[in-house]
Amino acid sequence: MIPNLGVPDRIVPSNGPNWKICVAHRLDEIMQVISLRAIAYMHEQSCPYDEEIDCNDFAGATHLIARLNGEPVGCVHLRWFSGFFKVGRVAVLPRYRKSGLGAALLEASFELGAKKGYGHALGHVEPSIVGLWQRACGLTPRPGRTNLAFSDHEYVEVEKFILKLEEAIHLDTDPMILLRPEGEWDHPGVLEHSNNRLIPLRTARQA
């Protein structure tokens, strides 16, 4: 069963040692994501700021953030297209890179994509870790595609086909569910709670 990525406090246990993975909703959560990526890419890979913090972080993107005892330790960036979604910018603090957290972030990405009705994930992976991602979470190189390069690094295009869910979000899903925050479709949202204000109003009109 695909776990929900958003109980009321927006955290869900992953398969890792006590970390929590959730959708980043608030500005401070996005700042935590940016900080993690600054460590992994700007510092360790000398990626220029304008190439790491580009125009895709707020335009149609979703960020997942992992925390250990409340501290941000990893993140991943998702972009949604017609028929597929792209997984990118996986960043994990150095001390947790052999803990399985990177694979847990990817699995959480696939779970969220499945809940949104997607069956195909795309990613760009450095050649040295293609085998690792293939063993850890089933991302395989796309046939017939040549390697690409950006920000001074070479990448392999990889993909994974995901089992679609019958209970995935779709056009005829209850509109109140569609109004819930990203990843929190299994729990009533603030707009549903707002309907409680209509009860005394209706009662007053009927009196």
Q: pLDDT per residue over 68-105, tens digit each?
A: 999 999 999 999 999 999 999 999 999 999 899 999 99
Residue 56 belongs to domain with CATH number: 3.40.630.30
CA distance 120 to 180: 24
Output the pLDDT for position 154. 93
Residues 6+ apart with CB under 8 A from 7: 184, 187
What's the rounded Cα separation, in Å, for the pair 118 and 67?
26
Number of structural domains in the chain: 1
Measured CA to CA in angstroms, residue 91 lies from 32, 41, 104, 135, 139 at distances of 11, 8, 12, 19, 17
Question: Does residue 4 form part of some domain?
Answer: no
| Residue at 150 is within a domain | yes
Q: Which domain holds residue 143?
A: 12-168
134-176 tens-digit pLDDT: 999 999 999 999 999 988 889 999 999 999 888 899 999 999 9
**For 190-202, what is each residue's pLDDT tens digit?**
898 888 877 665 5
Mark out the alpha helices in the chain (DSSP H runs). 27-37, 49-52, 101-115, 130-137, 175-178, 190-194, 198-206
| Token representation of residue 26 | 């608030």
State the Cα–Cα distance between residues 90 and 131, nearest whole angstrom: 16
Residue 5 lies in a domain: no
Is 185 inside any structural domain? Answer: no
Indicate whether 173 belongs to any domain. no
In whole angstroms, how far apart are CA 128 and each of 91, 134, 140, 183, 197? 16, 12, 13, 32, 57
Task: Report the distance separating Cα 117 and Cα 109, nearest Å.
Answer: 12
Residue 56 covered by a domain? yes
Q: Within a domain: residue 193? A: no
